[in-house]
């Protein structure tokens, strides 16, 4: 007879397996509550699960995210650390711990920019992108930023559809890059060709609403920071979304570059340079 599920526990008895099944069912309910934004109810279930199964994979991390959304940073930090005690190589936990730490370090949280007095000169902004077979999305993205950027730098990693043709139609400078399983290397190739004072990083399936585009312009002109974190919206239904902060607008500076082949990140080099990082309410669709 085959086992009904793979258990993180060895040599469990049938009653114990039933308890684990029950715990997994509670995890599913708690995750559903998280999707609905019912974080208080979710943490009750997560705590109940962890009381019996403190090393059930991913549960400490899920609880940490719920506590963080409730503003209980200490409990969120403890949950994240507990997840890493169980699984030191858990990249999701490492990334979330880094985000929590970052949110304490950034200056000017929810910066408001002075939009009453226009600057004498608007700074130049280069759009920097990496793409491959994005003909279905690219036009919407470029349409949304074409009147705010001074140049479009697009690095193509091997498109076989109309992606390059569409980019050229918008006047973009297209550079070809042999894909090497390294997102940071491709991103850095786009930075190498940009000449603007500021760089706006977008993916082909992103776009900007007019209000967010205006805020990005004023952010660059304000001079209040060197790197701006924007909310990358992740729509999980037609009416709700989750937003995670990502560095999308930053100065074009020597020594500022992406690291990590899979989860490319420009913030480590920004911190090394001592740059000012600001968390904003600007949204990237």
Which overall architecture, per CATH, does domain 125-284 show? Alpha-Beta Complex (3.90)
At the top level of CATH, the class of 14-105 is: mainly alpha
Gap between the Cα atoms of 78 and 63, Å rounded: 10
This prediction's pTM = 0.64
d(C-alpha 132, C-alpha 222), whole Å = 34
Q: Which residues contact 285 (CB under 8 A, 6 or more apart)?
A: 206, 207, 208, 209, 212, 233
Give the start-to-end residue ranges of the domains of the chain.
14-105, 125-284
pLDDT tens for the chain, residues 1 to 285: 333 444 454 444 555 777 878 888 899 999 899 989 999 999 999 998 888 888 888 999 999 999 998 988 888 888 887 887 777 777 888 778 777 766 655 544 445 566 677 888 999 999 999 999 999 999 999 999 999 999 999 999 999 999 999 999 999 999 999 999 999 999 999 999 999 999 999 999 999 999 999 999 999 998 888 999 888 886 555 544 455 678 999 999 999 999 988 888 898 898 889 888 887 889 998
């Amino acid at each position: 007879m085959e086992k009904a599920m793979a258990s993180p526990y060895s040599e469990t008895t049938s009653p114990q397996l039933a308890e684990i099944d029950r715990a997994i069912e509670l995890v599913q309910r708690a995750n559903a509550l998280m999707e609905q934004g019912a974080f208080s109810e979710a943490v009750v279930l997560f705590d109940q699960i962890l009381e019996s199964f403190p090393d059930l994979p991913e549960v400490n991390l899920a609880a940490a995210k719920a506590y963080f959304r409730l503003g209980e940073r200490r409990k969120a930090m403890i949950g994240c650390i507990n997840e890493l005690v169980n699984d030191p190589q858990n990249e999701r936990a490492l990334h979330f711990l880094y985000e929590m730490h970052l949110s304490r370090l950034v200056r000017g949280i929810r910066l408001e920019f002075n939009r009453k007095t226009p600057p004498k000169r608007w700074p130049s902004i280069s759009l920097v992108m990496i793409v491959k077979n994005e003909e279905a999305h690219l036009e919407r993205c470029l349409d949304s930023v074409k009147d705010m950027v001074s140049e479009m730098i697009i690095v193509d990693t091997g498109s076989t559809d109309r992606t390059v043709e569409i980019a050229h139609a918008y006047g973009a400078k297209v550079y070809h890059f042999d894909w090497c399983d390294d997102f940071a290397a491709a991103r850095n190739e786009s930075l190498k060709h940009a000449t603007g004072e500021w760089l706006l990083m977008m993916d082909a399936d992103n776009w900007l609403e007019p209000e967010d585009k205006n805020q990005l312009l004023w952010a660059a002109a304000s001079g209040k920071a060197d790197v701006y974190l924007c909310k990358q919206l992740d729509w999980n239904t037609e009416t709700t979304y989750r937003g995670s902060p990502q560095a999308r607008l930053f100065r074009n500076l020597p020594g500022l570059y992406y690291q990590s082949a899979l989860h490319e990140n420009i913030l480590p080099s920004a911190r090394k340079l001592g740059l000012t990082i600001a968390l904003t309410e600007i949204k990237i669709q």
